[in-house]
Structure formats: C-alpha cells, structure tokens
Chain A
C-alpha cells in the first residue's frame, strides 16, 4: 500500500477539523448545560483529538471501497456501520474521560454536562465521521486526477521522443553519402538520370522531414515515401534489388503513424540486400481484415552475414511508436526462417474521414 504522505492541504484540513470540531463540541457543552467556557473548550478539543483518530481511519475504508467501483448499498453500509461503531466507541471514551475529570478540582460535574448532551454529541460524532469520509474521497480523487495528468504528459513526451529518434534514424548519413556519390557518377554517364536522382533525393528528404510532425498519415502517403526511397536505392543496387508489393486497396486509406515502414525497408536493405553479393528482394504486404490492419515487410537475407549487427534500433523505435499510439492493441513481430527475414505489424484500422 502506498505510504501515506500528508500534503500541505491535508495538514490544514486536519488541524482545522480538529480545532473546529473541538469548538463545536465546546459550544454544545457550554450553551444550555452551562459548562464553564474554558473547561468546555479544553474538553471539546481533547475529545475532538480522539475523534481525529477515527476520522483518519476513514481514509483506509475509503481506499478499500473506491467510489467508482463499489455499489452504493455497499458504500452506505460500510460507512454507516463504521460511523456508528466508531462513534459509539468514541462516546464511551468521552464518558470515561468525563468521569475521570470529575475528580479533578475545577472540573466537577463534567460527567453530568456530557451526559446531558449525549444525543447531540453522538449525532455530531456521526456527522463528523461521514464528513471525513467525504473529504477523504475528495482527496483521493484529486490525487488520481493528478496522476492521470502526469501519465498523459509522460506518454506524449515519449511519443515525441520516439518520433524524434525515428526521424534521426531517417536522416541516415550513409544513405545520403552513397546516394550523392551515385549522383556524382551519373553526372557524366547519364546527366538526365543524375538530375532525376537529385530530385528524388530532395523529395524524399523533404517528405521525411515534414512527416515527423503529423500524428497519422494515410498508408497511401507512406507508400509514396517508400517509392521514392526504393527508387534511390535501386540506382545504387541496380539488379541486386528486387521489389515486390501486395497492397490491398482497402488498406490504402488506413491511417497510421508516419515513418513506420521506411525504417523497416532501410533495415532490409542494409542488413539483407547489401550483405549478399548477388543481392535479394524485399516484399511489402498490406492487408485489412475488418478492424485490423496487418503490414508485413519481408526480405531475403543471409543469416550468416554480419551477425553482430542485429541491434535493431530501428525496429525498437517502430515498436515504441506503435505502443505510444495503440498501447496493447498493436503487435509487432520479427522472425527469421531460413533465408527470409520478416517483420509483421498489426494494429486497429482507422480510416481517414471522408472529406
């Protein structure tokens, strides 16, 4: 159970309650039965002090019977029963104390004053206990709302962090340098293609940089980005890179966080295709079955090549970003069988609103 820490507000409530209730009781004992003012105040605050204990215990019973989850009859029963029991106990103590005080000089007759007001004091006790219950519930609710806010903030920060690192991973400098080198080569071999590749590269970078800020994009847009990326890599690898695609039409309108597929493609190129002298293939599948969207990126690879590079930073990023948006409703699996490496993602299908 969480340690009970008292905030400033709680301290204030505690002291106010004690003194306040004490004064009320004092009033009851002074007005009408006529207990001397000072005596009444001391006595009132004294027994109020004892009452604080039961008020404090109200906190425990509130925690075991959360407002939202407990049926009303249970709530009423629990708190009323506690109120009655505790107040009775408190009354006994009060009367005992009053009898004790009788023997003290200057305090004669205390017991009879108290007995005179038994009913009222009992009522006040019950009321005070129930008030404590209410206040405890209020304090619990406040703390929960605070916690929820902190959680929301943390979650959004993590999402932003993940997007930033996904973005950083996109601006892969080696991809850039190799592509620029290819353009450099093309300038004299095939100037038209050199220009084309320059533009493709610029478009790709522009798209990548623009995407980080968007919460979700339609799959169609991610596919557009992938096309640009693959066009650039095809110039570098030529025949060594074969691309296959099986994308359902109904999947293209689905919304998803940007830059989920591009890092997977990049992994496929760097760890798969580039590691094989004869090159390989990458296959993208997108299926929509009812409320779920399933994306698969497969590539051929050589399990024996470059075994140490399986650190999967890009994959971890993708996983974190899926979690940030879909929580446990998203699944990501990476598997390798024989010569095929496969990453599958599944998450709820959301369609873009019809414009």
Chain B
C-alpha cells in the first residue's frame, strides 16, 4: 500500500508540531505539508491531493469550514482539531471522519486515525450545505469564499451583484469580475439573506440593492437592469417574488 499523504492545518505552530509528533510514529503516513492559514491550505490541498486532512476550525480570515468549501474532497478523510466543542457536532454534519478536542491524548488521536483508515468517507456535501452547517441557525453568509486557481478570494455579500447558474457551477459577479464556484444556485440562495437576495429566475439570484429598474423584454418576459448596466432575465415566478419583497420593503 502506498504511503498516505497528510496535510496539517492550524494557525498555532505548537498545535502543528504536536500533530507532527503524533504522526511521527506512523511510518505509513507522510506529512505532505503544514499550513498556518486557510489560504495556504487550499493551495496545498490542490497541489498534494492529501488522503488525510487535519483541520483546525478557528483560523484567521478563512475558517476550517471555508477551506472545506474550496477543496476537492473526493478522496480526503477530514479530521477536525479544535478547542471548541460546538464544532464537534458540526464535524459530523459535514461528514468529517472525526474530531479531536484540544487538548487530546494519544489514545484519542490513534482512535481518530483508525477511523480515517477504515471508514469509507460518505459523499461530501455541497459547498452551500457545508457553509450552512458551519453557521449558527438564523444567520446568513456575510461573505462567499471562491477559488481562482489556488488563489482564494472572499467576496463580501454586499458587493455581490448577482449569481448565474452554469452547469454544476455558479458564476458570481462582483465589482466587475466573474468568479466560478462549485455550488448549486439553490445552495447559494439558501446561504444568502432572503431579504437582500432574490431568486428571480431558475438560473439567477440577484442582489436587490443593485437593481435599478425592471423593463419588459420581448412579449412576455422582463429583464432587470442593474446599477452597473448588467441585464438579468426575470421569470414570471421570479417577478412575483420580487414584487412581494418590494411591497414588504415599503
């Protein structure tokens, strides 16, 4: 059997060293890389395609859950390592293999490793479902994480103009730029505040604050004109939803 590749992600150096030490006894596992923040982790995951990922949750800028949204998880066993037990539950929601609560014993570590080796990982969740699992109930996303190659961008929702469904992806349009994210349009819709973002079409979600006006288009349909001139088609159902929301706002 070939060696397993492991990736260690934690913003505290000592925490990483401890994991390294615990793994040192396992000749069958090789540490491909250590990362001190989420951005580096996304890069390293793309580069090394690890079998095993030790992931801290509380990290600056990008949290462990954000990282999960952005990496290929098909063949990666994820073990959360965190001081916060509230995330322990969510670890299972997002189909992580196990979680380690800091400080953890060697026994606990070994148990988690064993699970990773023997367990077949369930199908990883959609990025939107992942993000939703990470957020406390009732809260909506304040920013969307996207990846351009290995570069990670954080889009504040206020700056998101609209999103368009493209095959298995969504295209997010913000500040004149387009970003691709592996997510369903419905998944994105769920994550966003419905008072601010409306699904005006089967393939489009628009930021209400960006809509300048709505014009008729062709015989039956309408089109929304955004402040920056972009045109977004509006379906019948979408228009009804839009009207309802605008009525409520008055």
A interface vs B, CB < 8 Å?
Answer: 174, 177-178, 180-186, 188-189, 235-238, 274-277, 302, 304-305, 307-308
A182 touches B83 (CB 8 A): no
Contacts of A177 in B (CB 8 A): 83, 101-103
Nearest CB in chain B to that of A277: its residue: B37
A257-B15 Cα distance, complex, nearest whole Å: 35
Q: What are the 8 tightest A-B residue pairs by CB atom distance, in nearest-first order?
A: A185-B18, A181-B102, A177-B83, A185-B14, A277-B37, A181-B103, A180-B103, A182-B14
**Assuming A180-B103, A181-B18, A277-B59, what are 12 further A-B pairs, CB within 8 angstroms?**
A177-B83, A178-B83, A178-B102, A183-B103, A184-B18, A185-B14, A185-B21, A186-B14, A188-B21, A236-B12, A276-B61, A304-B154
- A238-B103 contact, Cβ under 8 Å, with A174-B83, A275-B61: no
A305-B17 Cα distance, complex, nearest whole Å: 26
19 contacts between A and B (CB under 8 A): A174-B84, A177-B83, A181-B18, A182-B14, A183-B103, A185-B14, A238-B13, A274-B60, A275-B60, A277-B11, A277-B37, A277-B39, A277-B60, A277-B61, A302-B60, A304-B154, A304-B156, A305-B61, A307-B142
A274-B59 Cα distance, complex, nearest whole Å: 7
Contacts of A277 in B (CB 8 A): 11, 36-37, 39, 59-61
Nearest CB in chain B to that of A182: its residue: B14
Instruction: Specify which of B12, B15, B60, B101 is in contact with A305 (CB 8 Å cutoff).
Output: B60
B8-34 vs A, CB cutoff 8 Å, 1 = contact: the mask equals 000111110110010000000000000
Q: Does chain A have a CB within 8 A of B119?
A: no
A185-B103 Cα distance, complex, nearest whole Å: 9
Contacts of B58 in A (CB 8 A): 274
> Shortest CB–CB separation between residue B88 and chain A, in angstroms?
12
Residue among B11, B37, B84, B139 facing the most chain A CB atoms (10 A cut-off) = B11
A302-B102 Cα distance, complex, nearest whole Å: 26
A174-B154 Cα distance, complex, nearest whole Å: 27
Q: How many residues of B contact A (CB 8 A)?
A: 25
B interface vs A, CB < 8 Å?
Answer: 11-15, 17-18, 21, 36-37, 39, 58-61, 83-84, 101-104, 139, 142, 154, 156
Contacts of A183 in B (CB 8 A): 103
B60 touches A181 (CB 8 A): no
Contacts of A235 in B (CB 8 A): 14
A178 touches B12 (CB 8 A): yes
Contacts of B84 in A (CB 8 A): 174
Contacts of A304 in B (CB 8 A): 154, 156
A54-B176 Cα distance, complex, nearest whole Å: 84
Nearest CB in chain B to that of A178: its residue: B83
A185 touches B156 (CB 8 A): no
> Shortest CB–CB separation between residue B51 and chain A, in angstroms?
24
A185-B12 Cα distance, complex, nearest whole Å: 11
Instruction: Specify which of B12, B21, B59, B61 is in contact with A182 (CB 8 Å cutoff).
Output: B12
Nearest CB in chain B to that of A308: its residue: B142
Nearest CB in chain A to that of B83: its residue: A177
Contacts of B21 in A (CB 8 A): 185, 188-189
B37 touches A181 (CB 8 A): no
> Shortest CB–CB separation between residue B233 and chain A, in angstroms?
32
A177-B61 Cα distance, complex, nearest whole Å: 21
> Shortest CB–CB separation between residue B1 and chain A, in angstroms?
28
B37 touches A184 (CB 8 A): no
Contacts of B142 in A (CB 8 A): 307-308
Contacts of B102 in A (CB 8 A): 177-178, 180-181
